Amino acid sequence: MGTSTQAGAGTFAALSHELATVVDRAGRSVVAIDARPRVPTSGILWRPSLVVATDHTIRREEEISVTLPDGRAVPAKIAGRDSTTDLAVLKLDESGGESAVTGAGENISVGNLVLAVGRAKGNHLVTSLGIASSVSGEWRTWRGGKVDRFVRLDLSIFIGFSGSALVNASGGIAGINTTGLARGLGVTIPVSTVNRVVDELVAKGHIARGYIGIATQPVILPERLSTKLNLANQSGLIIVTVEPDGPADKAGMMIGDILVSLDGAPASDIGDIQAKLGSEFIGRSIAASVLRGGALVPFTLGISERPSRIR
């Protein structure tokens, strides 16, 4: 009994020591950001002089301060932000220290132990231990941003933890944690998505997204009408707003039209529209069909870049 207890205690002590080591190593790239009232938030020194944070926690456009792991507080400016993936890039006025050592987020599986590592007021590291509770493929956020992998966390996301690092079992940073994309649940934006968004934000200051200039609401289609017109879907999207001079307006779409297909695919919810508004669609023309007066009416839409006023 004594030998077994001692062995168990030794294993526990070794795990405890290793966890502390992993937190310390990851923490060398984790910063605290003062960009909102009262409570700082976390961020990661992703590249030299570039900090990645969560967009929803950056509440000021000016007078932003970043506290580095060595305790220095340095000014920062917003280099770009993207609400659809909840990412923002801050440019430091001076060198920030060690850049993040990113791990292969794609290697995280359901049940893997993970750590969230953030930095709190007073320049203290904070952490939370849990597991990856759900892992699946590419998904789109409620704002239309594309995230390469869905990773939901079963760990405590305390105030200030949005923008913290997700650290995997090998000690690498596998992504950035946020509560801003899934109705308060903790999810992780993987490394591949962060790199893609950072590259475009640094180059352009924003993420280019397609635009057709309509607002819609889902509606159920009468079964008799769906059968008569041989529609693949039992619901559509009724157009409630048409932006003047937007692609839909120029094509001739009207309020009250019901969008039922877009680019050859059924249109039943807003995600079906967002899937056709990635940057790769800008400049392309795509086919659309609407129900108007009980008949199908075809249109051709030229996808333009989303105006800055509605980004």
Give the per-residue pLDDT at 310. 66
**Mean pLDDT over all residues of the chain?**
90
Give the per-residue pLDDT at 96. 65
* pLDDT exceeds cutoff 70 at 1: no
For tokens 């992703």, name the residue: 46
Q: How confident is the model at residue 159 (pLDDT cuts 50, 70, 90)?
A: confident
Give the per-residue pLDDT at 311. 59
* pLDDT exceeds cutoff 80 at 98: no
Do 1-207 and 210-310 come out as alike in CATH topology? no
Q: How confident is the model at residue 274 (pLDDT cuts 50, 70, 90)?
A: confident
Cα–Cα distance measured from residue 24 to residue 258, given in angstroms and rounded to the nearest whole number: 55
Q: Give 24-62 pLDDT, tens digit per residue.
A: 999 999 999 999 988 899 999 999 999 999 999 999 999
Cα–Cα distance measured from residue 18 to residue 29, given in angstroms and rounded to the nearest whole number: 18
Structural domain boundaries in the chain: 1-207, 210-310
Cα–Cα distance measured from residue 243 to residue 213, given in angstroms and rounded to the nearest whole number: 5
Strand residues in 121-194 grouped as ranges (E): 124-136, 139-140, 146-147, 150-154, 165-167, 173-178, 187-190
CA 282 to chain centre: 21
Tell me which of 309 and 177 has the higher pLDDT. Answer: 177
Q: Are 66 and 73 in contact (CB under 8 A)?
A: yes
* pLDDT exceeds cutoff 60 at 155: yes
What is the DSSP pairing of strand 165-167 with strand 265-266? Answer: unpaired
Q: Which CATH code is given to the segment(s) 1-207?
A: 2.40.10.120
| Residue 210 identity (one-letter amino acid) | G
* pLDDT exceeds cutoff 70 at 309: no
Q: Which CATH code is given to the segment(s) 210-310?
A: 2.30.42.10
Nearest-5° Cα angle at 129, 65 to 106: 85
Q: How far, in Å, are 87, 188, 197, 209, 296 from residue 194 at the CA level?
A: 8, 10, 5, 17, 41
Cα–Cα distance measured from residue 277 to residue 305, given in angstroms and rounded to the nearest whole number: 9
Give the per-residue pLDDT at 7. 52
Tell me which of 245 and 98 has the higher pLDDT. Answer: 245
Q: Which of 216, 213, 212 is nearest to 276 (CA)?
A: 212
Q: Taking the model in full, what pTM does it have?
A: 0.83
Q: To the nearest whole percent, how much of the chain has pLDDT over 90?
A: 65
Cα–Cα distance measured from residue 190 to residue 195, given in angstroms and rounded to the nearest whole number: 9
* pLDDT exceeds cutoff 80 at 5: no
Q: How many residues does the chain have?
A: 311
CA 5 to chain centre: 45
* pLDDT exceeds cutoff 90 at 94: no
